[in-house]
Chains A and B, each alone.
Chain A
Amino acid sequence: MSDDDGKARPPGFGFETRAIHAGARPDPTTGARNTPIFQTTSYVFDDVDHAADLFNLQTFGFIYSRLTNPTVSVLEERIANLEDGRAAVCAASGHAAQFLTFFTLLGPGDEFVASRNLYGGSITQFGLSFKKLGWTCHFVDPTDPENFRRALTPKCKAIFLEILANPGGIVVDVEPVAAIAREAGIPLIVDNTMATPYLCRPFEWGADIVVHSTTKFLSGHGTSVGGAVVESGRFDWAQNDKFPCMTQPEPAYHGLTFYETFGDFGFTTKARAVALRDFGPTLSPANAFYTITGIETLHLRMERHVQNAQAVAEFLEGHPAVAGVSYAGLPSSPYHDLARKYLPRGPGSVFTCRLKGGFEAGVRLVESVELFSHLANIGDTRSLILHPASTTHRQLSPEQQVAAGAGPDVVRLSIGLETADDLLRDLDRGLAATTTGK
């Protein structure tokens, strides 16, 4: 037998190599080197027995692109690899990834604890839409890790946080929160969208599940909406009776017990085989392709994102129209030390600044800049600007807005990859308009 089918090498390929290669070998049939877009809904079965094996999850293979698709699989393996996780399942968006995660974990009446410093859409999803499914989220101030412990109830099945919070520039001290989750026998879920695995790998700090909106830095070019759920493979679902979803026969899958059958990739297998199958928020192969291509330059882009963000943050901090800048890369940030611990390569490129001119100045600035794009995404090659109180966070109460770091005077920036001086000039011009009224 030839031994050319993946030579065994010790673990230890660098991040950059894995960002380009993980999950993607040349196509076995054609030799195509880049991952093809498998634009197909379905896959032929060898025979009836093969079909039965596939439907029963007895063998690995493709049935229907709602569940698995070869292009999407490459992206899943790549993200799992970069996070140093065991397995991943992709979804149509970051919100869909969160839904798959919680649908797999929770039943009606179950609860979880989440940081209150989250993307505004997540606060709405957890606090309002999940309530309709019988799931209760207790939000806590994440700046004191003990707040998570205090909010736990016997019905809580998970703790959720964004390690680098959107939009407030807050870095959560994730290590003690992981210890609290471990003591409670529940998984810690970390949204790593803002940091990406290049800047932070939450599994190294005790997280059990990582979720992503791949729409942001992973895809990186503002082209493709997507999401991912990654499991570390280290959570023991059988340590208590909180997770019948993993340890009891699953009626939606002819009595299969997922943890026993799939072991350390049982969670993502269940999320795929039940939640993704039955609700269908699937990532398209084309979007997976764009995201794979984006990830191949993740390391280069994140370096420059962080470098430009630092330059812009320092500029704004010294600007007379600005009341404060919440970038953890600034020594003035209360999260500077946590950022150095958890994000030593830099705390991302999304942050906020408060304007002395309040709500009106925020509106004026976003409407005055020329180079910054006024829109509601982050993690693009382009620099983006937003006034959360009038857009992403407008569904929240004023108290929730302030708590989420999105008060009326706050402007959110996502710093792109343009020439840094051009960004400074554009902001300077926009800020002048907030004071002159022109």
Chain B
Amino acid sequence: MTDATPVSTPLAYDDADLRGILKSVRTIAMVGLSPKWVRPSNFAAKYLQGKGYRVIPVNPGVAGKEILGETVYASLKEIPGRFEMVDIFRSSEAAGPITDAAIALKEEKGIQVIWMQLGVRNDDAAARAEAAGLTVVMDRCPKIEYGRLFGELGWGGVNSGIISSKRPGPRP
């Protein structure tokens, strides 16, 4: 596949933009969510559920079953309701057609954000999504970014990069 961009030049996202996404989104379709509890995708989904997000699993291998209490769908198209964000837990190559499917469904499903996981980056697909009016984040994990921006990541000794003398406010 030639569609995938090797992760070379680092991506930079503004903290305010990421915080805005995490505050506005409520429902996330997670493509590639594993039913195995020890997998990173399952960790991220369970964490995000705990923060009040609804996480809808998309995984054709286990379609019709449940992951973390939610019915699994084979594709974005088959999800019955609306969801503002697509979180892609697949390879950089696979992120291309998934992004295209999301672009095609953006009006019908209310999709606003394409989020590609840590290590997943597809610049061509991102350009297509942005041209279609979607917000794109690549090579980041929403769990880690949530933890970083809302003061939990530092509990594990991680450098959040956040400097503030304001008392931490309410979380989304």
Of the candidates B37, B141, B152, the one whose C-beta lies within 8 Å of that of A60 is B152
Residue on A with the closest CB to B15? A8
Q: Does chain B have a CB within 8 A of A9? A: yes
Cα–Cα distance between A70 and B154 once the two chains are bound (Å): 9
Note all chain B residues with C-beta closer than 8 A to A261. Answer: 40, 43
Contacts of A21-35 to chain B: CB distance below 8 A = 21-23, 25-28, 31, 33
Given A5-B150, A7-B164; A68-B156 close (CB under 8 Å): yes
Residue on A with the closest CB to B153? A60
Q: Does chain A have a CB within 8 A of B147? A: yes
Of the candidates A6, A31, A57, A58, the one whose C-beta lies within 8 Å of that of B162 is A6
B156 touches A87 (CB 8 A): yes
Cα–Cα distance between A46 and B144 once the two chains are bound (Å): 21
B158 touches A6 (CB 8 A): no
Note all chain B residues with C-beta closer than 8 A to A263. Answer: 118-119, 141, 144
Q: Does chain A have a CB within 8 A of B172? A: yes
Cα–Cα distance between A263 and B16 once the two chains are bound (Å): 23
A61 touches B141 (CB 8 A): no
Note all chain B residues with C-beta closer than 8 A to A62. Answer: 155
Cα–Cα distance between A2 and B167 once the two chains are bound (Å): 12
Cα–Cα distance between A25 and B142 once the two chains are bound (Å): 22
0/1 string, A79-115, CB within 8 A of B gives 1:
0110001111110000000000000000000000000
A9 touches B163 (CB 8 A): yes
Note all chain B residues with C-beta closer than 8 A to A61. Answer: 152, 155
Cα–Cα distance between A90 and B119 once the two chains are bound (Å): 28
Cα–Cα distance between A233 and B46 once the two chains are bound (Å): 25
Q: Does chain A have a CB within 8 A of B80? A: no
Cα–Cα distance between A73 and B147 once the two chains are bound (Å): 14
Stretch at the interface among A11-19, A239-247, A373-381, A406-414: A11-19
A25 touches B119 (CB 8 A): no
Note all chain A residues with C-beta closer than 8 A to B147. Answer: 60
B170 touches A5 (CB 8 A): yes
Q: Name which of A7, A57, A269 has the most chain B CB atoms within 10 A of its CB.
A: A7
Stretch at the interface among A204-212, A252-260, A346-354: A252-260
0/1 string, B12-27, CB within 8 A of A gives 1:
0011110100010000
Q: Does chain B have a CB within 8 A of A156? A: no
B38 touches A254 (CB 8 A): yes
A-B contact count (CB 8 A): 142
Residue on B with the closest CB to A84? B159
Note all chain B residues with C-beta closer than 8 A to A58. Answer: 43, 46-47
A23 touches B154 (CB 8 A): yes
B151 touches A28 (CB 8 A): yes
Q: Does chain B have a CB within 8 A of A144? A: no
Given A73-B154, A263-B119; A59-B50 close (CB under 8 Å): yes
Residue on B with the closest CB to A60? B152
Cα–Cα distance between A335 and B162 once the two chains are bound (Å): 37
Of the candidates A6, A28, A56, A77, the one whose C-beta lies within 8 Å of that of B157 is A77
Given A1-B172, A5-B150; A26-B166 close (CB under 8 Å): yes
Q: Does chain B have a CB within 8 A of A173? A: no
Q: Name which of B38, B118, B152, B160 has the most chain A CB atoms within 10 A of its CB.
A: B38
Nearest chain A CB to B133's CB is how many angstroms away? 23
Q: Does chain B have a CB within 8 A of A196? A: no
Of the candidates B38, B46, B163, the one whose C-beta lies within 8 Å of that of A22 is B163
Given A28-B151, A58-B47, A263-B144; A2-B170 close (CB under 8 Å): yes
8 A-B pairs with the lowest CB-CB distances in the bound complex, closest first: A8-B15, A76-B157, A8-B16, A5-B169, A80-B159, A60-B152, A87-B158, A77-B154
* 18 A–B contacts, CB within 8 A, in A order: A1-B169, A3-B19, A3-B169, A4-B167, A4-B169, A5-B164, A13-B163, A58-B43, A60-B153, A61-B152, A61-B155, A74-B154, A88-B157, A88-B159, A90-B157, A255-B38, A261-B43, A265-B157
